[in-house]
Amino acid sequence: MENTRPDPRPEEISEAKEEEKTGTAEKGPSAVSPGKEIREGAEKLLSAARAFASEKAPELRRAANAAAQRAETLAAQAQPRLAAMKKAAAARARAAAGALDRTLKAAKERDADALRETALRAARAAGEKANAARGKAEDVLSRIRYDIKAFRDRDPAASSDLEVALLYSGFHALLAHRAAHALHTRGFSFSARALSQTAKFFTGIEIHPAAKIGRGLVIDHGSGVVIGETAEIGDDCTIYQGVTLGGTGKDTGKRHPTLGRNVMVGAGAKVLGPFTVGDNSKIAAGAVVLKEVPPDSTCVGIPAKVVSVANHRVEQSDLDQIHVPDPVAAELARLEERVARLENARNTGTDVPECKNKEEE
């Protein structure tokens, strides 16, 4: 069925146009667009803001001016404080810089003092080492001079120091032993032994590197002299050719003899065993000494017997190997005296007198 609507009246059309122009007519919710409402609201807000700004602008301007004046006043008041703060900060910075400089200077001085002390200690140590080396060199030279003087004093054939230093095999063997003994004490046993054997080849004198020898030893002629490993020889001793300071083969450790000071051992004498020959004693040529010898005594014979001579050194007979007491001859003389007494008693018919004991010289 067709829906027919009557045409609007002219009055209605004019009213609608009027309402549309003035915008006062009421419209339904669906007749007004949302954009138009937003625009209208924004225009209203803008108008209100402009009105508020125009009303409040003088007041805001006065507040801004007051704030600017206050800021200027505060800035003017803050200038002295800022200057004081800058000055105080600069003073603190200078003080800190001065303290740092002093600290660095003190550290440098301490480092310099430490370096100086280290250098002084190193210099002192070097000086001590140099003095020790100089002392050792002087000691070696002193020993050499003393040994040469000993040869000159005890060998009438020595005419000069140069002759002893260049031509005496005993002196050469002694020098070689000093060097070999120094190597041995430092642990160079093979080198020490090689040096001693080389000296033996050239001098005919064999001295073990471990033997301890004092100052002033004179090895006269020297061929065939043998001094064992644990032998010890005191100062100012004299040894002639063919002497052996050896062991018996029964001992371990200390196997060889010890000679005291100023001991004379004659040619071909054998001193065997770990015992001591006392100071100022003499062992005659060819004697075989197997037991300890007291000081200031003389040993003769095979096996050697001790014949006391005195409790002091006899200057004129130190090197005399001929005029020494003979215990065998003395015993024969005592027996001859006893036989003579017995024969005399038998011939006269008297009692046999007691034979006087032999007095030991």
Domain boundaries, the chain: 83-158, 168-210, 213-327
- Dist CA 34 CA 42 (whole Å): 12
Contact 304, 290 (CB under 8 A): yes
Q: What is the pLDDT of residue 52?
A: 76
Q: Does domain 213-327 fall into CATH 2.160.10.10?
A: yes
Distances in Å between the Cα of 200 and the Cα atoms of 134, 151, 204, 206 are 30, 20, 5, 5
Rg (CA), the chain: 64
Interhelix angle 189-203/169-185, rounded to 10 degrees, is 170
What is the tens place of the pLDDT at every residue in 79-108? 888 888 888 888 889 888 888 888 888 888
pLDDT at 198: 92
75 contacts: CB under 8 Å, gap ≥ 6: none
Contact criterion met (CB below 8 Å) for 265 and 243: yes
Give the dihedral sign, CA 129/134/139/144.
Answer: positive
pLDDT digits (tens, 9 = 90+) for 172-190: 999 999 999 999 999 899 9
At residue 340, the pLDDT reads 85
Tell me the residue type at 220.
D
pLDDT tens digits for range 207-224: 999 999 988 899 988 788
**How are beta strands 232-233 and 258-259 bridged, if at all?**
parallel
Q: What is the pLDDT of residue 26?
A: 46
Query: Do 222 and 169 contact (CB within 8 A), yes or no?
Result: yes
Pairing of strands 305-308, 297-300: antiparallel
DSSP secondary structure string, 13-80? HHHHHHHHHH--S---TTTS-HHHHHHHHHHHHHHHHHHHHHHHHHHHHHHHHHHHHHHHHHHHHHHH
pLDDT score, position 82? 82
Determine the pLDDT at residue 311: 53
Q: How far does Cα 227 stand from its chain's mean position? A: 36
Ordered per-residue pLDDT tens for the chain, 361 residues: 444 455 555 555 555 556 555 554 444 444 456 777 888 888 888 888 777 777 777 777 888 888 888 888 888 878 888 888 888 888 889 888 888 888 888 888 888 888 888 888 888 888 888 878 777 777 788 888 888 888 888 888 888 888 888 988 889 999 999 999 999 999 899 999 999 999 999 989 999 999 999 888 999 887 889 998 899 998 889 999 999 998 887 777 888 999 999 999 999 899 998 889 988 888 988 889 888 888 888 888 888 887 766 654 444 444 455 555 666 777 788 888 888 888 888 888 776 555 544 444 3
